Amino acid sequence: MAKILIVDDEFDLVEGLEALLASHGYGVATALSGAEGLAAAQEQAPDLILLDVMMPHMGGIEVCRRLKAIPALREVPVLLITALHGTSDKVAGLDAGADDFITKPFEQAELLAKVRAFLRTKSLRDELENSYNKLRELENLRDFLIHTIIHDLSGPLTAIQASLAFLQDDAESEKGEISREEARKFLTTASQNCEQMTQLTDAILEVNRLEMDKPALKQAPVDLMHLARACLERMEPRRKQVNVAFLTRFPDVLPPVPADEALLGRVFVNLLTNSLKFTRPPGSITVCLREVPGEGQVECAIQDTGMGIPTENLEKIFDKFFQGRGSRRGFGLGLAFCKLAVEAHGGKIWAESETGAGSRFVFRLPMPPAGPDAGAGRA
């Protein structure tokens, strides 16, 4: 609903205009003096101001001049209401920033036509401004993504370049001082950094595929307890490296959910990888599964005893390329992938955390309607 502010010292006129505009579906606020109108405009941010020229203490032209000096109100159209017919008065009003005049006495149809025209123009201007702001945001995001990708690739490339340079220098040297074991270490470093770059490019492609292509899911009934155990087993070597414990809290029975098992498995692995990255020994990571009573959903939660996430970052961590400060850094794509994959299943994902108190990543998936053929997951 468009908001219109009427500023006039004639109570009867204000009352009549308010009734007229309200009857046509507009939200209306009123003020009976210039000072009151200035305050009301700043408080309510109207879409259009109807402003009387002849008012005591502070006339409409001065009010208009002050309104146009306020950045937040500069683009709000002002329609001056006047009983004056002189050209000089209209010029003064236009110089003060007024958008148009209407002369007393006026026809209701004329006023309503001007109101519609100004509100239409205001709406188009707002849409244009929003489009411009979104374009600027996209440009800033593009620049940020380019910088981030270059930054994330430059480290591995530098390591590869250094390793190969050592090997090349040794190969060209007459003495050949690098031992077989040292050469193996340089090659391992180069190989590991190649793998890191491959992971980054694969992650970018996978996230973009989920965003752009909206791929059809290969859905089938999935036993989440079985899938979670398989993912925990897959992550066991990494768990041993960081020396933390894997724990589970599963119900005796859990209904299967229709899902793309491969895609959902990657969600589990990404969330476990994230927790392993930020949990220190003798910490633990607990996978919890449950049916949400009365909601027709299954909930999966991965809770760790790690460093936690600052509250202000909880809404950002699922954004592409978001990277926390300090040691909580990475490519910034794993959680973005999880969000897209869960939402592709009609589910929802979120994080709960406090700095220094661990994190809990939760996602919920819809269950199929109960039926005679509905099975149960393995405990």
Residue type, 27: G
- 249 domain residue, yes or no: yes
Backbone angles phi, psi at 348, to 5 degrees: -140, 145
pTM of the entire predicted model: 0.52
Q: How much is the pLDDT for 378? A: 43
Q: How much is the pLDDT for 281? A: 93
Look up residue 372 and give its DSSP letter: T
Query: Does 148 lie in the same domain as 231?
Result: no
Backbone angles phi, psi at 105, to 5 degrees: -75, 145
Kindly give the parts of the chain with pLDDT less than 70. Answer: 85, 141-142, 144-149, 151-152, 174, 176, 199, 203, 205-207, 209-216, 321-333, 370-379
Instruction: Please say whether the beta carbons of 248 and 268 come within 8 A.
Output: no
Query: Does 257 lie in the same domain as 182?
Result: no
From CA 367, how far away is CA 221, in angstroms rounded?
A: 10
196: domain CATH number?
Answer: 1.10.287
Query: Does 348 lie in the same domain as 250?
Result: yes
Query: Does 317 lie in the same domain as 244?
Result: yes
- 122 domain residue, yes or no: no
Token readout for 80 is 């001056």
From CA 204, how far away is CA 262, in angstroms rounded?
A: 18
Query: Does 95 lie in the same domain as 45?
Result: yes
90: domain CATH number?
Answer: 3.40.50.2300
Q: How much is the pLDDT for 222? A: 96
- Which is it for the CA torsion 108, 113, 114, 116, positive or negative? positive
Query: Does 20 lie in the same domain as 153?
Result: no
- 23 domain residue, yes or no: yes
Backbone angles phi, psi at 284, to 5 degrees: -145, 155
Q: How much is the pLDDT for 9? A: 92
Query: Does 238 lie in the same domain as 340?
Result: yes
- 250 domain residue, yes or no: yes
Residue 169 belongs to domain spanning: 142-212
Query: Does 252 lie in the same domain as 269?
Result: yes
Token readout for 116 is 């519609």
- 248 domain residue, yes or no: yes
The secondary structure of 327-353 as a DSSP string is: T--S-S-HHHHHHHHHHHTT-EEEEEE
Token readout for 203 is 């992650």
Dihedral over alpha carbons 206, 210, 212, 216 (to 10 degrees): 120
Instruction: Please say whether the beta carbons of 362 and 301 come within 8 A.
Output: yes
Q: How much is the pLDDT for 65? A: 94
Q: How much is the pLDDT for 5? A: 96
- Domain end marker among 168, 183, 212: 212
- Domain end marker among 194, 212, 230: 212
Between vectors from CA 178 to CA 174 and to CA 181, what angle results, nearest 5°? 150
- What's the total number of domains in the chain? 3
Query: Does 332 lie in the same domain as 251?
Result: yes
- Domain end marker among 195, 212, 229: 212
Q: How much is the pLDDT for 340? A: 86
Residue type, 143: D
Which residues 6+ apart lie within 8 Å of 307 measured at CB? Answer: 278, 279, 280, 327, 328, 355, 356
From CA 360, how far away is CA 305, in angstroms rounded?
A: 9
- 155 domain residue, yes or no: yes
Query: Does 191 lie in the same domain as 92?
Result: no
- 111 domain residue, yes or no: no
